[in-house]
Chain A
């Protein structure tokens, strides 16, 4: 069909490598099924074609059309673009058609990007966890410890008095093995054991943080040039992906925790009181960060939209 539009997609992780990467593949498959004759997605590659942290700007520059990866990869380009990490809604951005979704779309549009969706597991499923080589009973145990963080979890670690160290996934094994860091944050459902980290890590702290998951975005000009029919297909495909991701992450989390335990790791549960302290600090420290990069009225608006969740 001559009228069919082909969109080129690049992602942060190759298909088949990480469960989070499968969000991109699922979205592509949905589009290609629903969009026959109207719109289709062609997968170009992942970190083999562009370094993941360069991909968001490359999307804005029109090097390719559709992107998937972690929401916080947008932190430098779209201030607050990953604010749905704090969302209490089942679908982090509320899904196409909701007020929260329109708010997030507005944040991205100002920077030349069309946000398509943030897909994650249910609340507390497939999210960030801390894994350590020292026993942790309380938040206070983190004080003075060197911990590997992501841009998202560094606020919490710093607020807890730890020393945050930024390392790419490929360096974590050696750093844990040699004791250069004593713990690290990772969304456990995302193939924790595939990296072999269970061989060099003793404990997983069973205290979920934020939402994690993956997000899908488009170049804004390319989006605006699409027919309304094609746009609808993309949104419908996204809604399906957001629904699918919930089961997908639950299944992966369960499998990973089983493999971690088989690998000799111990899952530590905090007392109710400590869990609440931990959760409070995690949320408050991240809000404090967003308050430095978003205007006060946006903060008020998004807090109201979050509160609307049941």
Chain B
């Protein structure tokens, strides 16, 4: 089989299995079994498939995923998160669409803790989406901001993916990490602006609900009691990572542990709360990790068939203007990003893009930053963006994948807009690292 035949076969097969109602993880595994049979030496390759299932999740770099999920469900089931949101509500009472705006703020704050978009989406989605729907927000507005903000995890340091990208490409890691801050913050601001405009134009999507007038003294007291403690946990986690007191995995575990202590202090450490929180965290973690056991193998098989590298080298060999070439390269990443996860995209495309970047004389940091926004986007592009599946898992019952795809759409457009802006105005990407 030629590489393009593999490509069509792989994607049609995967789409078919997913659409017939197979769980995503099983659809990946089934497609992998077929791919392994064809590419890895028949039945003897199945042994390797089992090994790949193991090595895809048996790593402590992924431990922050279940940790942050557990932290989220604990804060939710113990009432800490809803109370925290209530306090912010008291202060933000006058902004329409404030819960959606709050989601973006919380997403940006979480992004400073983790480089894993899925963990962020799980935490925001399990706390804020149902809260928004309870207050009459539209489905789309209660889901979209969670997807967009969760994906910020990749763009705001610490970002493991930025480090992978920089080291594979041979770019300065420090500069790449610093350079992504500006687009990260810019994207968060674009989200907020978009939400404010959207709510202004379509007020029914975020009904204004009565916030009882709360005296200032009470607001301050509530802030100290209900807002500062969980926020301090978040800041402590940031400090642990930033000052190198602990690795991200360790920081995540410490943060979760402190959440238990906070529950004890607030008197909500009951057996029922623990059972609910730990139970749903286990369920969510399994749901996400089991998809990873299939998606890693799928990316490997695509690489093995030569399809991913062939499509990249074909498209980049076309004789066109540099800016068009850059846009085309980003389109390739965008398309691949619809189906496979980001580390694999980096591993597959960067070795082929590098010679082009050098030949064009581009600043590699400029390229790296735009690429990072694109990789961020890959977590929320249908049909196979992993954050979309996580969202499906944590969304209130009755939410369909279609709802989620539609909710993601405007945020995908905002990401593409940011990429275009940076392609046309490179200084946006290069301004901050120029001080280094």
Contacts and interface: CB of A to CB of B under 8 A. Distances in A.
Interface of A: 14, 16-17, 44-45, 47-51, 53-54, 57-58, 61-63, 169-171, 173-175, 177-180, 194-196, 199-200
A58 B48 contact: yes
A173 B166 CA distance: 11
A153 to B, nearest CB: 19
Interface stretch (B100-108, B241-249, B405-413): B241-249
Contacts of B296: 51
B173 A173 contact: yes
Given A174-B163, A175-B247, A178-B243, A49 B48 contact: no
Contacts of A44: 304, 306
B247 A194 contact: no
Interface in B154-191: 158, 160, 163-164, 166-168, 170, 172-174
Given A170-B160, A173-B173, A195-B173, 12 more contacts: A44-B304, A47-B347, A61-B45, A63-B48, A169-B167, A171-B61, A174-B173, A175-B247, A178-B242, A178-B244, A195-B167, A196-B173
Nearest to A62: B41
B174 A199 contact: yes
Contacts of B300: 49-51
Nearest to A10: B304
A51 B164 CA distance: 14
24 contacts: A44-B304, A44-B306, A45-B309, A48-B348, A49-B304, A50-B52, A51-B296, A53-B55, A54-B52, A54-B55, A58-B40, A61-B40, A61-B44, A63-B41, A170-B163, A170-B164, A175-B244, A175-B247, A178-B242, A178-B243, A194-B167, A195-B173, A196-B166, A199-B174
A175 B241 CA distance: 9
Contact of B40 (A16, A63, A171, A178): A63
B163 A14 contact: no
B51 interface: yes
B45 A62 contact: yes
Given A17-B351, A196-B172, A54 B243 contact: no
Contacts of A17: 168, 351
Contact of A49 (B47, B168, B303): B303
A16 to B, nearest CB: 7
Interface of B: 40-41, 44-45, 47-48, 51-52, 55, 61, 158, 160, 163-164, 166-168, 170, 172-174, 241-244, 246-247, 296, 300, 303-304, 306, 308-309, 344, 347-348, 351
A195 B163 CA distance: 9
Nearest to B159: A174
Contacts of A14: 351
Contacts, number: 92
A174 B158 contact: yes
A17 B167 CA distance: 10
Contacts of A174: 158, 163, 173
Contact of A61 (B47, B158, B172, B303): B47
B48 A199 contact: no
B174 A54 contact: no
Nearest to A51: B55
Contact of B170 (A49, A57, A178, A194): A194
Contacts of A61: 40-41, 44-45, 47-48
A17 B243 CA distance: 31
B303 A45 contact: yes
A63 B38 CA distance: 11
Contacts of B247: 175, 180
Contacts of B167: 169-170, 173, 194-196
Contacts of B309: 45, 48
Nearest to B297: A50
Interface centre among A17, A62, A174, A179 (most CB of B within 10 A): A174
Nearest to A50: B300
A148 to B, nearest CB: 11
A16 B358 CA distance: 14
Given A16-B351, A61-B41, A179-B244, A196 B174 contact: yes
A54 B351 contact: no
B354 to A, nearest CB: 8
Contacts of A49: 300, 303-304
A51 B247 CA distance: 23
Contacts of A194: 167, 170
B346 to A, nearest CB: 9
Contacts of B47: 61
Contacts of A62: 40-41, 44-45
Contacts of B45: 61-63
A54 B347 contact: no
Contacts of B347: 47-48
A185 B41 CA distance: 37
A2 B52 CA distance: 35
Contacts of A200: 174
A178 B44 contact: no
B133 to A, nearest CB: 38
A44 B301 CA distance: 11
Interface centre among B40, B52, B173 (most CB of A within 10 A): B173
A45 B347 CA distance: 10
Contacts of B40: 58, 61-63
B329 to A, nearest CB: 17
Contacts of B344: 48
